[in-house]
Chains A and B, each alone.
Chain A
């Protein structure tokens, strides 16, 4: 890949392939931050958009000391968790019913798949008429956001249970309950977990959407909207960073829990 005469050039040291592997990922962020810093330091622009990094940190410190940041984050997370739990529980029930009963699926499935098509955020104006602008409306919307992926994946998980497995269970004279807890649930779990995991991510996205559109009360979304309205770039950047961090933590913990819950799967495959 590298050119053969590169060693004679002084630029050889700067060749992308010469940078140690562990450092490569840092090159672009470092360049970006340097450029950002330089834009402010050498006053390339007088735009208020270029707030220095130090100001973002300072704002973060100030808002965290005054408790405003934690209050907003707490309010957002509280809503998210409540909506997520409500939506997930409802989704598990509906998904399981759809999966277990063909009749229920024929009756309700088509309606469900039709309603699912509506882009999630389009529900907010309707919900705001029905539930107001406060926490109930936001939680209703968040549970809707969590509901759809859980239903879909629970349904698919249960439907993908192999007929052979059920037949083996019949030979062992399992009761209905045993069939459900010992055969259906274990084989549907991975798919159900995917649904819950998606619900978590969707709920976080929906939290932001709900806070933008139903602007009452505190929350990270309100922090962002507020910052934009007052042209406080430092607050907006801080909000973006917090949103990213929360998303990252949710992702990371969900994949850890999933790996743990499904660890039996890896082992059983390895036996063959």
Chain B
């Protein structure tokens, strides 16, 4: 199921960028048995040798100064810097600012995207008028719009919110529209046989059937908004995680850069995980209702 959704999502649009295939909805775990536990333990154990070896080699390379610290600081130095940044509160304050921006931009883009997607998905008239313009707009990636936006709105908060909203808006609109279009006509026919009115049709047939691709769009949107945030903060910001990276880079403090990169990865992961959990919850509810 998920493969078909992601090809719909990415079918023909430049702005619909990749994301890992969504996690399958959480299954009820079978009762734990020692033998059943083994593959998981084995997987867990096998995951460690490679990263540990890399880290050990890296630490060795740094302590024997095979590589200068300005090029690659030792992992222990990075960890110490991480703790330092955490203790001074710099890390938290910058992360918070970045999260705020993503939240505002994402919500704006998501609301607009859902509205336009639903409008185009349900009304062929709206689609005829708006879809070509939307398509043209979506051909230029967010980063392409950035210089133009900087000229029009300056480099304040507005720039960040608009850019993040734009990168959220495109995948959500597209997936919502395609999701609604993709509702099998046989479902509609059955609903007609049962004499559903327009509202019932929407509430009980169209929305549940279109939910997975729409939600997929929401997850793409969030991934994109995080990508756009890092981009805009690297280019034009005096606060936030992206700024921390640029700042560390300018001072040749790669430990700061690496610490910030780790946080960027962790937050990106957490954001996607949160949506995956919500998805599992929503789908479970749906299944229970049947």
Q: Chain A: residues with CB nearer than 8 A to chain B?
A: 1, 16-17, 21, 24-29, 32, 49, 103, 106-111, 113-126, 128-130, 148-149, 152-153, 156, 160, 191, 194-195, 197-198, 201-202, 204-205, 208-209, 212-213, 224-225, 227-228, 231, 233, 236-237, 239-240, 243-245, 247-248, 250-251, 255
Contact = CB atoms under 8 A, between A and B. Distances in A.
Contacts of B6: 194
B21 interface: yes
A129 B136 CA distance: 37
A213 B51 CA distance: 29
20 contacts: A25-B131, A32-B133, A107-B47, A114-B51, A118-B262, A120-B227, A121-B230, A122-B242, A125-B246, A129-B252, A130-B71, A130-B72, A148-B18, A152-B21, A156-B21, A204-B141, A212-B146, A236-B151, A239-B147, A240-B147
B18 A149 contact: yes
Nearest to A24: B128
B17 interface: yes
Nearest to A112: B50
Query: How many B residues are at the interface, by size bracket?
Result: 35 or more
Interface of B: 3, 6-7, 10-14, 17-18, 20-21, 42-43, 46-47, 49-51, 54, 70-72, 125, 128-133, 136, 139-141, 143-148, 150-152, 226-227, 229-231, 234-235, 242, 245-246, 248-249, 252, 254, 257-258, 260-262, 264-266, 268-269
A213 B257 contact: no
Given A106-B46, A119-B227, A247-B139, A236 B10 contact: no
A239 B152 CA distance: 15
B171 to A, nearest CB: 12
Contacts of A208: 141, 143-144
Nearest to B131: A25
A111 B10 CA distance: 26
Contact of B7 (A16, A26, A194): A194
Nearest to A210: B143
Nearest to A245: B139
Contacts of A110: 47, 51
B144 A117 contact: no
B133 A251 contact: no
B235 to A, nearest CB: 6
B17 A118 contact: no
Contacts of A26: 132
Contacts of B265: 114-115, 117-119, 122
B136 A236 contact: no
Contact of A152 (B18, B54, B260, B264): B18
Contacts of B249: 125-126, 128-129
A240 B145 contact: yes
Contacts of A120: 227
Contacts of B268: 117-119
A209 B10 contact: no
Q: Which 4 A-B pairs have the closest CB atoms?
A: A25-B132, A106-B46, A110-B47, A24-B128
